[in-house]
Chains A and B, each alone.
Chain A
Amino acid sequence: MTLIRHTLYMTLRHLRELWRQPWFVAVTLVQPVIWLLLFGALFKKVIEIPGFHGHSYIAFLAPGVVVMTAMFSSAWSGMALIEDINRGVTARFLVSPVRREALIAGRILKEAVVVVIQSLIIVALALIVGASFPGGVGGVAALFAISALLGATFGALSNGFGLIMRQEEALIGAVQFIVLPLTFLSATFLAVNLIPGWMQHVADFNPVNWAVVAGRSAVSANADWGLIAARAGFLVALLALSVAFATRAFQSYQRSV
């Protein structure tokens, strides 16, 4: 009970922080809008390529943008933790009886909440520009859940690396190094049967691709729930590993105080 309560206190604190930075919120939303609208318009004719099953590129792209945005925004999660450490806030919590797990869990939960809100906005936008999601509300909810899982995973990884690096510049470098390749080595922009063979093999091990494939299937007319469950299972396992990693990193930070 105490753990849940402390985690909620921390989650609310982080959400409030975000709310107080309207520019940050705006910028994180401008990006997916650009992807969705510009890419959507630019590659409109992609669906005419033989082998591309679908009738609207925007509808194809939207789940990809939802997943990509989940990763992009959560990958920065460790930045705020580094700032807390540098400002002495983390040390203040450590001399209080706060549950240690809550200090990481609160951040991960915040990323999940943010991802759901962002996803709602992106899906609404896609609907406005004419996309449709035959999977219905249930399918969209599954897409959100999968994105939140991915966001939580990247949030945990980001916090873990932040705790090891302890330098905002280093974390920025690492995030930028990792985020774009993961996006392009997936079916985010193109149907998986149209990307080069070696990329398909890499994509099989890419968590972003797991989320894109599962999320896209969930909102489609004939969702493959076996595939969705399998990919969601991979994501849950990866989230567990990431949380374990972040926890270990936090313990090593505590020893170094």
Chain B
Amino acid sequence: MEFAIEAEGLVKSYPKGVTALDGLSFEVAPGSVFALLGPNGAGKSTAVKILTTLATPDAGRALVGRLDVVANPDAVRRLIGVVSQGSSVDIQATGRENLRLQGQIHGIRGRAVEDRAQELLERFGLADAADRIARGYSGGMQRRLDIAMALVHDPAVLFLDEPTTGLDPEVRADMWAEIGRLADEKGKSVLLTTHYLEEADQLAERIAIVDRGKVVAKGTPDKLKRELRGDAIHVDLEREYNGTVSGALAALPAVREVTVDGRTLRARADDGGRAVPVVLQALESAGVEVSSVRVARPSLDDVYLKYTGRTFDAAETEATR
């Protein structure tokens, strides 16, 4: 099978001994949306920089549309559209001028570039604001203009690096709808990086979970979640009980992977609905008071915990420290 993007054992260290990528490998099938999911500092953005020709890897190989990014950077640049982390709009120019220049440097000229700019402005709801200076655009409008610029030359491969970071939830939902539509476009391959679990879950057909510069798990969101076998049970306790709690559940065949963290108890069960009464009964007999119980289908958060041994939040905190 030929892949739209292929990363093979990418290694990249920065001065001061920071290893951003430590043998990262993944491949993206043509016409699909693929997400690199991981906390800040996991190496996702470095991977995008290499794949978009901004940075060169210390070791490993990266192909985009079967072209080697190190050997053929210019050919790769013609093939890709990039929406970078944070806006890259020229805020002293109008939306139309931004699009026009982006088209021109991709070799579109004259009437064609004007038509293309107008088409994209309309598609992204910027037609009314087209001739206003982008400084006055809202965060969501600037982001839409970023995406429009990335699409101006109709690229076969699109990179979206943290496309919704910093947007408020309402705008994020709009952006998800937009990305969903992009994915439906004829044969466009999309690589999305995100540290939002729900974003990867909702948008991507396949996901690679990245932790400390490596892919620790990959597959469809459903497959990754299925690997966890069963539902997650979260029990909030009235107070901390230390050893009592896990002891009370140890003998129960209905649940496994019991962990207690302060006043939170987590366990896994093949059928959460049936396991809950059993669990509650066992806790009651052990004298443990329960304040609430939730049963959830496994989330990517659980997947992340399983493969990295840390919760997503803990990894984020670690990265920002």
Contact = CB atoms under 8 A, between A and B. Distances in A.
Interface of A: 5-6, 9, 13, 16-17, 20, 84, 87-89, 91-98, 254, 257
19 contacts: A5-B104, A9-B104, A9-B105, A13-B90, A13-B97, A20-B133, A87-B89, A88-B84, A89-B89, A92-B82, A92-B88, A93-B105, A95-B52, A95-B77, A95-B84, A96-B102, A96-B106, A97-B74, A97-B107
Contacts of B54: 91, 94-95, 254, 257
Contacts of A254: 54
A91 B105 contact: no
B55 interface: yes
B82 A95 contact: yes
Interface string B101-125: 1101111000000000000000000
Nearest to A17: B92
Contacts of A97: 74, 77-78, 105-107
Q: Which 5 A-B residue pairings sit nearest by Cβ, starting from the closest?
A: A88-B88, A92-B88, A98-B105, A97-B77, A95-B82
A95 B80 CA distance: 8
Given A6-B105, A94-B53, A96-B77, 6 more contacts: A13-B90, A20-B133, A92-B88, A95-B80, A97-B105, A97-B107
B105 A20 contact: no
Interface in B68-98: 74, 77-78, 80, 82, 84, 86-93, 97
Contacts of A257: 49, 54-55
Given A17-B93, A97-B78, A257-B55, A92 B84 contact: yes
Contacts of B84: 88, 91-92, 95
B149 interface: yes
A88 B86 contact: yes
Contacts of B91: 87
Contacts of A13: 90, 93, 97, 101
A7 to B, nearest CB: 11
A87 B88 CA distance: 6
Contact of B149 (A5, A17, A87, A92): A92
B55 A95 contact: no
Contacts of A92: 82, 84, 88, 102, 149
A117 to B, nearest CB: 19
Contact of A9 (B53, B77, B101): B101
Contact of A20 (B82, B92, B149): B92
A20 B131 CA distance: 13
Nearest to A2: B107
B15 to A, nearest CB: 9
A11 to B, nearest CB: 12
Contacts of A94: 53-54
Contacts of B82: 92, 95
Nearest to A21: B92
Contacts of A5: 104
Contacts of B87: 87-88
Contacts of A20: 92, 133
A16 B86 contact: no
A94 B105 CA distance: 11
Nearest to A6: B105
B5 to A, nearest CB: 14
A88 B143 CA distance: 13
Interface in B247-290: none
A17 B86 CA distance: 22
Nearest to A14: B92
Nearest to A9: B104
A254 B52 CA distance: 13
A107 to B, nearest CB: 14
A196 B82 CA distance: 59
Nearest to B77: A97
Nearest to B52: A95
A93 B54 CA distance: 10
